[in-house]
Amino acid sequence: MEDLGGPRLEHDIDHQDEDNLAWSDNEAHAPGKVCELCGAVITPGQDVRRRADGRWMHEICPLT
């Protein structure tokens, strides 16, 4: 790793563990809620996001 002159870390970072992080497990799900964008009911397994107003919408709305 290139030294850019910043302060040294007390502990080395093990970058091998980054591959084991489950970033996809950070997805939101809201089965049974209604998508505010397309009006369809959100089913289990569909990825969603919560809007600033607290309502849910599909990450990608299904084709109707």
Task: Burial-class residue 42 by CB neighbours within 10 Å (0-12, 13-18, 19+).
Answer: buried
Q: Please say if the pLDDT value at position 9 is more than 90.
A: no
Q: Please say if the pLDDT value at position 46 is more than 80.
A: yes
Q: Please say if the pLDDT value at position 21 is more than 60.
A: no
User: Is residue 36 in some structural domain?
Assistant: yes
Interatomic CA distance for residues 60 and 64, integer angstroms: 12
User: Is residue 64 in some structural domain?
Assistant: yes
Interatomic CA distance for residues 14 and 27, integer angstroms: 25
User: Is residue 20 in some structural domain?
Assistant: no
Q: What is the pLDDT of residue 62?
A: 86
The domain total for the chain is 1
Domain that holds residue 61: 27-64
User: Is residue 3 in some structural domain?
Assistant: no
User: Is residue 47 in some structural domain?
Assistant: yes
User: Is residue 10 in some structural domain?
Assistant: no
User: Is residue 21 in some structural domain?
Assistant: no
User: Is residue 42 in some structural domain?
Assistant: yes
- Give, as one character, the DSSP assignment of residue 7: P
Beta strands (DSSP E) in 1-64 are: 48-50, 56-58
Interatomic CA distance for residues 43 and 7, integer angstroms: 48
